[in-house]
Amino acid sequence: MNKAEILTEALPYMQKYFGKTVVVKFGGHAMADEALKYAFASDIVLLKQVGINPIIVHGGGPQIGSMLERLQIAFRFEDGFRVTSPEVMDVVEMILSGKINKEIVGLIAANGGRAVGLSGRDGCLISAKKLVLKDSSKDLGLAGKVDKIDISILQAVKDFIPVIAPIGIGKKGEPYNINADLAAGSIASALKAEKLLLLTDVAGVLDKDGRRIPYAAIAQLDKLKEDGVITGGMIPKLQGVYDAINAGVAKVNIIDGREPHSILLELFTDIGSGTEIARQ
Amino acid sequence: MNKAEILTEALPYMQKYFGKTVVVKFGGHAMADEALKYAFASDIVLLKQVGINPIIVHGGGPQIGSMLERLQIAFRFEDGFRVTSPEVMDVVEMILSGKINKEIVGLIAANGGRAVGLSGRDGCLISAKKLVLKDSSKDLGLAGKVDKIDISILQAVKDFIPVIAPIGIGKKGEPYNINADLAAGSIASALKAEKLLLLTDVAGVLDKDGRRIPYAAIAQLDKLKEDGVITGGMIPKLQGVYDAINAGVAKVNIIDGREPHSILLELFTDIGSGTEIARQ
Amino acid sequence: MNKAEILTEALPYMQKYFGKTVVVKFGGHAMADEALKYAFASDIVLLKQVGINPIIVHGGGPQIGSMLERLQIAFRFEDGFRVTSPEVMDVVEMILSGKINKEIVGLIAANGGRAVGLSGRDGCLISAKKLVLKDSSKDLGLAGKVDKIDISILQAVKDFIPVIAPIGIGKKGEPYNINADLAAGSIASALKAEKLLLLTDVAGVLDKDGRRIPYAAIAQLDKLKEDGVITGGMIPKLQGVYDAINAGVAKVNIIDGREPHSILLELFTDIGSGTEIARQ
Amino acid sequence: MNKAEILTEALPYMQKYFGKTVVVKFGGHAMADEALKYAFASDIVLLKQVGINPIIVHGGGPQIGSMLERLQIAFRFEDGFRVTSPEVMDVVEMILSGKINKEIVGLIAANGGRAVGLSGRDGCLISAKKLVLKDSSKDLGLAGKVDKIDISILQAVKDFIPVIAPIGIGKKGEPYNINADLAAGSIASALKAEKLLLLTDVAGVLDKDGRRIPYAAIAQLDKLKEDGVITGGMIPKLQGVYDAINAGVAKVNIIDGREPHSILLELFTDIGSGTEIARQ
Amino acid sequence: MNKAEILTEALPYMQKYFGKTVVVKFGGHAMADEALKYAFASDIVLLKQVGINPIIVHGGGPQIGSMLERLQIAFRFEDGFRVTSPEVMDVVEMILSGKINKEIVGLIAANGGRAVGLSGRDGCLISAKKLVLKDSSKDLGLAGKVDKIDISILQAVKDFIPVIAPIGIGKKGEPYNINADLAAGSIASALKAEKLLLLTDVAGVLDKDGRRIPYAAIAQLDKLKEDGVITGGMIPKLQGVYDAINAGVAKVNIIDGREPHSILLELFTDIGSGTEIARQ
Amino acid sequence: MNKAEILTEALPYMQKYFGKTVVVKFGGHAMADEALKYAFASDIVLLKQVGINPIIVHGGGPQIGSMLERLQIAFRFEDGFRVTSPEVMDVVEMILSGKINKEIVGLIAANGGRAVGLSGRDGCLISAKKLVLKDSSKDLGLAGKVDKIDISILQAVKDFIPVIAPIGIGKKGEPYNINADLAAGSIASALKAEKLLLLTDVAGVLDKDGRRIPYAAIAQLDKLKEDGVITGGMIPKLQGVYDAINAGVAKVNIIDGREPHSILLELFTDIGSGTEIARQ
């Protein structure tokens, strides 16, 4: 198959996604490897170039943890959420908005794209409120949950690629620490995104023979859980996918972020990448 | 090189040509072969999809000739121009505007694109006047030359792919038969096109060892003519290229229309196709 | 009555039709006579000039028939529809899109207007499918019926006068031969046209004393048919009118195309022309 | 000549004036006769309807004079200008802006048009300053001259027909009494109007045999003055025309306001009305 | 409290009213005193400057009465309405549109604002019909009531401050004399105004101790009427307020027009002015 | 002077600055005090509310220094510039873009405004290159200077208040550490700002009697330097002002940031704040 034929193979996919919004949760190994990061930025620029609207939401847990350690700030988790004191929040915001976010903006520029780094405080993109656990004796500090998405700022920067740090804004302008997957799902839902791509460190959902399942409905996955085929870390990951689908996102793709250009493969080739999950 | 890398290779070219106008003269063998025609239409749709503005100008000499024969209408050429009686003009217009033009529109639709077939009479796109030879005793009838290009209709249909039959319009609304290469050059010049692609039946301009010359300036070609490397049919073809460049087109590409997807190869890959000619 | 008074008489009509769409089916004797053709084009240009949106749909049966004869291509009709082999389709399209359509464009230009000649393949204006008779053993070839009207191309060329050849486009981009009256009715309906004018070779519907009926409701016409006042060729013509009204066109006018400037008389004077038919 | 032919005769004139601005100075007998006023308003509405931009500037000297008398306010003229005390100014403004202006607005509405009555104070349309005579011992009070035209308000009401009372506005918002012909000329000049029509009580400029001269250059008129053909009241009237031409108006027409629909005859028929004067 | 703090106090009010329409009925003492008039115009300009859309509707009863007397035109009232003969109507229109209206325009200009003076005849802003009393033997002449509000002209002049004389237009373009409070209420309702401010000669509605009531619901006022606290001239005034609220205006404010800058105090300070009345 | 009069005093200033751009360099004591920060944000929101375009550029030297110390990262200055190793750059960007920038965004939101925090990397707002000292043996690492300002991103977010961290972007997307005063001057110059306000810790330029000089030309300041009236830290500060003026900013104001609401006092009152400096 020659070069022209591969470009031609991409045409119907370009037509399919033209003008559509694709939210990409960027995280995991892909964010830790120089070559993968660069390939990721290049893919995003190509999407924008052909008329798709990519929106990036990124995480940063490991980098936050290591800075907290350098600064000797103690921290702990409750029920999987980081207890976020004001001191911790400062570090969360510095790492997310001040380091990772702007680095992605720089990589996109290096590939000829135009990005703008935002946090959920900018233009009150992500209004948040305090996250309260059922066991309310466990206070999570400034850990927050999404209250409302205001897409005005995203509409204003529509000619740019938005890169979003998952930080919310409270009634008094104060910051909240939001889970990146949930932020990405909420934004995808508010934008009526065509799909939500989750860059992960797995090849997708595997069947009992260890082969990647390209497409799956929720019921089918539930069956695989019952049958013990899906186990371990994939179970909470799928819960996040279900949450996004319940929030109104039509299709969520678990993509293999360890593979270079997995976004292009997923969107523009017959091969695809990872597993695409829809309600049915 | 895998699929994603080939798409990635195309990115800088897409960035380079984004928003630019590319006029394509469609003719020769590429117009006579079903598979080549289909590949041509697919390439044009891909260009439009990624934000380039392709404008097609087509010929149709052989098809006109064969219809004139079927209708037993005698015709002759003077100094290389078809003497165009009103009866001949009717056939020229029926074949160009009524057969070839709409067929290309249909092929583009078959590839998911939206085209609109025009002639130079539509919206007075190509105002023409009678072509008069130096030896004015030889009357060419309704053979015409471009007087003025009015791009209003092209601006109105900017979301569509215009396919243009090279017929001009006189002061009283009457048609003129215009040479397709000259029509393409005039339109490219009026639109300040980024480039003019001429689909031909040759591999490009060849050097003395028969190898394709990818880029050439006019002076370099003149030297090759003097040296007897360029001969035969390529000489009048180059004259057309010079005319287009003199009319203000920056770059003219002689493309090999016999090769499938030669337009994609030229625009989006490092390989290219044919010979690109610039003033210097 | 002096000139100024006649212009003043036209004012309330101009106000009434300002900004409205009027679809005109052009055909019959008016299309065969040089002076009538010129007067028709002049009327259309005047309509556009005063802010009305005229849309022309033309036929061409006699011209197609005579070209088929010149080319010695046999053809026949089934149930009133032309059986359209690919060879016949070529001729239909050449005559409609390549000869009649562009000639009208030229006449409009000669009157200072700006027209654009389209077929239903352009911008997929008329999506069509194969017309199948009840007696399905009679195959009509590429005779088609309207499936869907996409008015995008008409919106794009809103500053021009569209002249439309009644040819449809199939799923693979192929042409279909569509009845001009039906095409005009479908387009009028899709555009929510103020009225549909049918240029015919009669003075309108006549009452039992042979006097023109200026306005009529369907029920009134049905009564005249029962009473034997309306007979012969007028009966199928009225069926077409009923079809257009059923497709949602508010008013259909049967105009006398043999009278010069009958369109102006109908739209801008107290005299009128022909018969205006409404549901009730 | 039938109705349709008269409409057709108007077409090239409609094309010629489409989108152009025509300033009309309304005054004299045409403003004093009910039938003429109504015909005037009808003409103006027709102009607007066919896409011309008529701008009306009106006078009102006789009506002002009669109200001053009713109110027993003494007044006098110096060098042809009304000496305008604050008390006189009140009456000037009430008659112009409160009576004549709104009456014209009403007549236009009665003909189906949409007008808006303005004075030069609205939107600071006519900035004015005190008019000072050479003999500065003669004080003219609030008689003013045009300082600057600000066309913003005219652009805002472009979908309406502006009817303008010739009152200017000073630095402190105070009114000035401006000569209507000069106001019309200044506005025509600021709008780069196609022409300025002056409705007068004469048939136009006459030659030595008493026949109307349809077109004249300034030099030709100067010759007629020298030859004693042009005499009396026409001499100051022509001075106003020359002033307008010197202010940059291309063509000024002296129209016979006593003839019904003289504006339509001038603009839309081969007959014309009065005399058109251009620099050369 | 220093200057900056007072400006800062205004900020939340500016945010609250930004982009909102506020209709102001201008009348009474505020219109008769030079300093109050000037302060009023300054307030209106400030409103417009900070992004609020003020619309002024003015009265003029005393000025009309005094001009009728000067002209020795007899007039009388029936059921509180001025019987408006054509002769009276002329004076009404001259005073409202020709004197008061343009004077306010001038005062706004003097404060650096851009106003446009309109009457309800302009752009058919206020369509009116004859006001008929229950006792139809009492003919009110050209006294009219609002039939329909057409806000097109207000939309066209949105960058200007409209100053409106309460005169309506009938089917034949003729004027009608409309009550200013009712005109203001109808316009406020048609524009879905945020509030209607009525400048009056009282401090607002007072409670039994003579203290101003800042906010009141209709029921509360009805109770005060029953209790005999509200008496005299305030009763018809409140009826006008109820009418406006019934016509759909959310909030009506009775403002003390005798106090300089009462509009600013009401809109931009914690102090307020007069009484704000809402349905509940 | 009552509240309404103070608001009225502000009107001509609001008119003067309406639609104009004012760049504010935020730094010093005003950025370190909670009440001053809040008042600053409130002032900025008021400016935006009344139609001025405030653009904030902030510094952060002390906060950067203290974080470098906490992280035990050694650093030094050369010729007044911070030598910026990649490790230092990380801290600079985290503090500026991740801490201070988003905190200002939050304060603006708390005052009802909508801000968006940007760095010069976003949308390639500030293209930068390496700063090279005359003594090129002293390498400054990633200390940069402004190469080009691209205002596209500022135009896109025109409905928001941009808050800009002074970080530049290199050819490969890498960050550069830019002096905040120079960044503010370059942005003011690129935006053709009406004025540049520098919030400082002084009362302005003082004359020999210690009184604030409200307005000064460069020559006048040079004279005061010669005369020894201006000394110490004011000298380099003025150099920055001169640089901004030389870069094309018309007026630069040294404002007393220690005074609450000094921006409002400067822009909207007759009192003013600090010293306004113009070329002459």
Torsions phi, psi for A9 (to 5 deg) = -60, -30
pLDDT number for residue A58? 98
pLDDT number for residue C192? 93
pLDDT number for residue F1? 60
Which of B3, B36, B161 to probe the A interface (max A CBs under 10 A)? B3
Q: Which chains touch F (3 or more CB pairs under 8 A)?
A: A, E
Which residues of chain C lie closer than 8 angstroms to B169, CB-CB? 106, 109
Calpha distance A106→A129 (Å, rounded): 31
- Is the torsion defined by CA of C85, C86, C87, C88 positive or negative? positive
How many domains does chain B contain in total? 1
Contact between chains at A97 and F96 (C-beta distance less than 8 A): no
What is the number of helices (H) and of strands (E) in chain E? 10, 14
pLDDT number for residue A135? 86
pLDDT number for residue D239? 86
Which residue on chain A is closest to B41 by alpha carbon?
Answer: A8
D in contact with F (at least 3 C-beta pairs within 8 A): no
Torsions phi, psi for E192 (to 5 deg) = 50, 50
How does DSSP classify residue E120?
T
Task: Please report, for the domain that includes residue B249, its CATH number.
Answer: 3.40.1160.10
Of F98, F105, F122, the CB nearest to A105: F122
Q: Percent of chain E at pLDDT above 90?
A: 84
Alpha carbon separation from D29 to A57, D22, D26, D36, D199 (Å, rounded) = 76, 21, 9, 8, 9
Token readout for D180 is: 């209507």
- Is residue D1 assigned to a domain? no
pLDDT tens digits, E106-131: 999 999 999 999 999 999 999 999 99
Contact between chains at C112 and D260 (C-beta distance less than 8 A): no
Contact between chains at A99 and F102 (C-beta distance less than 8 A): no
Contact between chains at B157 and C153 (C-beta distance less than 8 A): yes
Specify whether the CB–CB gap between A106 and A170 falls below 8 A: no
- Is residue A1 assigned to a domain? no
Question: Which residues of chain D are at the E interface, by a Cβ-Cβ cutoff of 8 Å?
Answer: 70-71, 90, 93-99, 101-102, 105-110, 114-119, 121-124, 152-153, 156-160, 167, 169, 172-175
E143: confidence class by pLDDT, cuts 50, 70, 90: very high
- Is residue F149 assigned to a domain? yes
Q: List Cβ neighbours of E241 (8 Å cut-off, separation of 6 or more).
A: E198, E252, E254, E277
Number of CB pairs < 8 Å for E and F?
A: 88
pLDDT tens digits, E187-206: 999 999 999 999 999 999 99
Contact between chains at B123 and C160 (C-beta distance less than 8 A): yes
Which of A50, A267, A268, A269 to probe the B interface (max B CBs under 10 A)? A50
pLDDT tens digits, F81-119: 889 999 999 999 999 999 999 999 999 999 999 999 999
pTM score: 0.94
Which residue on chain E is closest to D153 by alpha carbon?
Answer: E157
Torsions phi, psi for E146 (to 5 deg) = -65, 130
Of F94, F107, F118, the CB nearest to A116: F118
Calpha distance F157→F161 (Å, rounded): 8
pLDDT tens digits, B89-117: 999 999 999 999 999 999 999 999 999 99
Contact between chains at D117 and E119 (C-beta distance less than 8 A): yes
Alpha carbon separation from F278 to A168, A231, F187, F245 (Å, rounded) = 43, 71, 18, 7
**Chain C nearest C-alpha distance from B137 (Å):** 29
Of D97, D99, D109, the CB nearest to E90: D99
Specify whether the CB–CB gap between A138 and A79 falls below 8 A: yes
pLDDT over 90 (residue F232): no
Calpha distance D19→F173 (Å, rounded): 51
pLDDT average, residue stretch C254-270: 94
Give the range of the structural domain holding residue C51, as residue numbers without chain letter: 17-272
Of F94, F107, F174, the CB nearest to A106: F174
- Is residue A272 assigned to a domain? yes
Number of CB pairs < 8 Å for B and C?
A: 133
The number of residues making up chain A comes to 280
**Chain F nearest C-alpha distance from E110 (Å):** 12
Contact between chains at C51 and D46 (C-beta distance less than 8 A): no
pLDDT average, residue stretch C12-38: 95
Of E70, E121, E160, the CB nearest to D109: E121
A271: confidence class by pLDDT, cuts 50, 70, 90: confident
E2: confidence class by pLDDT, cuts 50, 70, 90: confident
Give the lowest-confidence range in A26-40, A85-99, B225-239, C84-98: B225-239
- Is residue E242 assigned to a domain? yes
Which residues of chain F lie closer than 8 angstroms to E15, CB-CB? 49, 112
Specify whether the CB–CB gap between F4 and E269 falls below 8 A: yes
Which residues of chain B lie closer than 8 angstroms to A45, CB-CB? 11
**Chain A nearest C-alpha distance from F47 (Å):** 17
- The per-residue pLDDT of chain F, averaged, comes to 94
Tell me the β-bridge partners of C143.
C177
Contact between chains at A97 and F93 (C-beta distance less than 8 A): no
Which residues of chain C lie closer than 8 angstroms to B90, CB-CB? 99
pLDDT over 90 (residue F233): no
Q: Which chains touch E (3 or more CB pairs under 8 A)?
A: D, F
Contact between chains at B5 and A261 (C-beta distance less than 8 A): yes
Which residues of chain C lie closer than 8 angstroms to D45, CB-CB? 11
- Is residue C67 assigned to a domain? yes
Residue B28 region, left (φ>0) first, then alpha (ψ -120 to 50), else beta?
A: left
Torsions phi, psi for E201 (to 5 deg) = -105, 25
Which residue on chain A is closest to F108 by alpha carbon?
Answer: A173
Q: Which chains touch D (3 or more CB pairs under 8 A)?
A: C, E
Which residues of chain C lie closer than 8 angstroms to D4, CB-CB? 43, 260-261, 264-265, 269
**Chain A nearest C-alpha distance from F191 (Å):** 19
Token readout for B36 is: 């080549």
- The per-residue pLDDT of chain C, averaged, comes to 94
> Residues E157, E163, E166, CA angle at the centre, nearest 5°?
115
Contact between chains at E4 and F51 (C-beta distance less than 8 A): no
C in contact with D (at least 3 C-beta pairs within 8 A): yes
Calpha distance F128→F134 (Å, rounded): 18
- The per-residue pLDDT of chain E, averaged, comes to 94
pLDDT number for residue A239? 86
A in contact with F (at least 3 C-beta pairs within 8 A): yes
Calpha distance C253→C245 (Å, rounded): 11
- Is residue A4 assigned to a domain? no
Specify whether the CB–CB gap between A102 and F121 falls below 8 A: yes
Closest CA to B116 of B148, B63, B156, B146: B156
Read off the amino acid at residue A237: K
Token readout for E203 is: 């401090």
Specify whether the CB–CB gap between E175 and D98 falls below 8 A: no
Specify whether the CB–CB gap between B78 and B140 falls below 8 A: yes
Contact between chains at F7 and E12 (C-beta distance less than 8 A): no
- Is residue D116 assigned to a domain? yes
pLDDT over 90 (residue C272): no
- Is the torsion defined by CA of D88, D90, D94, D97 positive or negative? positive
Calpha distance F118→F102 (Å, rounded): 9
**Chain F nearest C-alpha distance from E12 (Å):** 8
pLDDT over 70 (residue A45): yes
pLDDT average, residue stretch A160-179: 97
Calpha distance E128→E109 (Å, rounded): 30
Torsions phi, psi for A161 (to 5 deg) = -95, 115
Residue with tokens 């750059």, as numbered in its chain: F89
Extract the residue ranges of chain D whose pLDDT is less than 50.
Answer: none
B221: confidence class by pLDDT, cuts 50, 70, 90: very high
Closest CA to A111 of A41, A61, A211: A41
A in contact with B (at least 3 C-beta pairs within 8 A): yes
pLDDT over 70 (residue A1): no
Alpha carbon separation from D198 to D36, D101, D240 (Å, rounded) = 15, 17, 10
pLDDT average, residue stretch F173-194: 95
**Side-chain half-sphere CA neighbours of E124 within 13 A:** 19
Calpha distance E206→E230 (Å, rounded): 8
